[in-house]
């Protein structure tokens, strides 16, 4: 486990923080500087003024993403505000760069007013090829993302919602296959009805889950038709049911999806689930129930968590770098539902393929096996093949749905990505 002292030393040692900006063109001579700034810089400015799309030819916009937060729902820390969230956003920038060679400016907005966050993003949009919303509380995040998606012509993606949904969705499809279930027949119970919970439930519906088979529970219990005071996002999932508590809902359930807090699920609850239950306890740092507790009562369960020290880690880094890579490379105007579903399918397929994982993965996880089955339902974050599967799938879906403004030939694109993997190995 990482200690407090190690974490603080890592962030403060040498040059403070985790990111820096470096020039991509020579800056050695006076002529270099004259090209980089005045007078030479005027020429690309004139070209962009005449034809706005030339911005992607003459500037870094096409490979630049804004990671935007107001710090109201930082993972494991809560509402710590914009300033204290900056180390997390710098960390997000590192992941974008390390896994997909996407550059990032982190933007911390000192406001809890959704309209102010929206307006800031709208005003700075010309700088960026895409916007990744991060750690914004529900229900504000829904309004912010919806409005930005409707008013901007660049990809907007709230990772706490869609990233978790995409990765867990791929794991769900594979776990259902292993246990010989169909998603249309699976009873799925959620603990947590915030941004991640509601977005996962929506995506699972898109994958085929029946609305009447999805039960959401929040801190007040089951979200049902008779409950008053539900916001519109929770009301969307209110169903007719006699269940009132999480324990009630889990009796006979096929799938548990935890996006709430540690320790909420007891061994007795898991014991009451259907044969071969799927237990996705994804609260961080402490899952809703520990894998050891699950194994003690159900040796037929398939378990996933958000932690790296257990098999089947549902880690958002499997999604956002590669989704943005594919979207940026075809200059997509948005990240739509088919693009998200394409990412789900690509991740699920990679784990099912039965190919030997690269040596880098085995070194990173020396005590694990990688045969498709109960302990390997989702690829590992350090698997370089994720880039080759997810980015082309997203790019293809963007082209198929008419939101790509710079189509690519997929075979040639995959070869380009292979070269990117080699470059990333040096970071």
| Residues annotated catalytic, as ranges | 37, 92
**Rounded to the nearest 5°, which phi and psi values hold at 188?**
-120, 125
Residues in CB range of 13: below 8 A, 6 or more apart: none
Let me know: does 109 contact 70? Beta carbons within 8 Å. Answer: yes
Let me know: does 264 contact 196? Beta carbons within 8 Å. Answer: no
Q: Could you tell me the sign of the dihedral formed by the alpha carbons of 89, 77, 11, 313, in that order?
A: negative
Separation between Cα atoms, residue 188 and residue 164, nearest integer Å: 16
Let me know: does 287 contact 295? Beta carbons within 8 Å. Answer: no
Let me know: does 306 contact 283? Beta carbons within 8 Å. Answer: yes
Let me know: does 271 contact 182? Beta carbons within 8 Å. Answer: no
Give the Cα-Cα-Cα angle 306, 138, 172 (nearest 5 degrees): 35
Burial class (CB in 10 A: 0-12, 13-18, 19+), 286: middle
3-state secondary structure of 40: coil
Other CB atoms within 10 Å distance of the CB of residue 233? 21
Residues in CB range of 398: below 8 A, 6 or more apart: 326, 327, 330, 332, 336, 339, 404
What Å distances lie between residue 329 and 125, 159, 322, 410, CA to CA?
18, 19, 10, 11
Let me know: does 244 contact 222? Beta carbons within 8 Å. Answer: yes
């Amino acid at each position: 486990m990482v200690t407090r002292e190690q974490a603080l030393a890592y962030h403060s040692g040498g040059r403070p923080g985790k990111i820096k900006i470096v020039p991509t063109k020579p800056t050695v001579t006076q002529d270099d500087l004259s090209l980089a700034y005045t007078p030479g810089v005027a020429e690309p400015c004139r070209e962009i003024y005449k034809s706005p799309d030339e911005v992607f030819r003459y500037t870094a916009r096409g490979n630049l993403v804004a990671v935007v937060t107001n710090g109201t729902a930082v993972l494991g820390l809560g509402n710590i505000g914009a300033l204290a969230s900056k180390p997390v956003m710098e960390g997000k920038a590192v992941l974008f760069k390390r896994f997909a060679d996407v550059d990032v400016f982190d933007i911390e907005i000192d406001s809890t007013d959704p309209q102010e966050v929206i307006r800031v993003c709208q005003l700075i949009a010309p700088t960026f090829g895409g916007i990744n919303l991060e750690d914004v509380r529900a229900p504000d995040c829904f309004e912010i993302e919806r409005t930005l998606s409707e008013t901007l012509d660049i990809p907007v993606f709230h990772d706490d919602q869609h990233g978790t949904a995409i990765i867990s969705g791929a794991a769900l499809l594979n776990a259902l296959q292993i246990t010989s279930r169909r998603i249309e027949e699976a009873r799925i119970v959620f603990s947590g009805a915030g941004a991640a919970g509601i977005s996962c439930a929506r995506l699972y519906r898109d994958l085929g889950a029946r609305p009447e088979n999805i039960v959401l529970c929040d801190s007040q219990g089951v979200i049902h038709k008779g409950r008053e005071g539900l916001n519109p996002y929770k009301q969307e999932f209110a169903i007719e049911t006699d269940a009132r508590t999480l324990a009630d809902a889990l009796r006979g359930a096929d799938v548990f999806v935890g996006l709430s807090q540690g320790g909420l699920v007891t061994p007795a609850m898991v014991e009451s689930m259907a044969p071969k239950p799927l237990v996705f306890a994804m609260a961080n740092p402490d899952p809703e129930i520990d894998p050891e507790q699950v194994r003690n009562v159900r040796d037929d369960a398939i378990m996933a968590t958000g932690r790296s020290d257990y098999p089947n880690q549902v880690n958002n880094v499997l999604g956002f770098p590669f989704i943005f890579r594919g979207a940026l490379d075809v200059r997509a105007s948005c990240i739509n539902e088919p693009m998200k579903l394409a990412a789900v399918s690509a991740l699920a397929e990679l784990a099912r393929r039965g190919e030997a994982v690269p040596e880098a993965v085995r070194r990173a996880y020396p005590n694990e096996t990688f045969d498709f089955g109960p302990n390997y339902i989702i690829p590992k974050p350090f698997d370089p093949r994720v880039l080759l599967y997810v980015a082309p799938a997203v790019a293809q879906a963007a082209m198929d749905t008419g939101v790509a403004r710079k189509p690519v030939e997929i075979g040639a694109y995959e070869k380009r990505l292979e070269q990117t993997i080699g470059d990333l190995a040096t970071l």
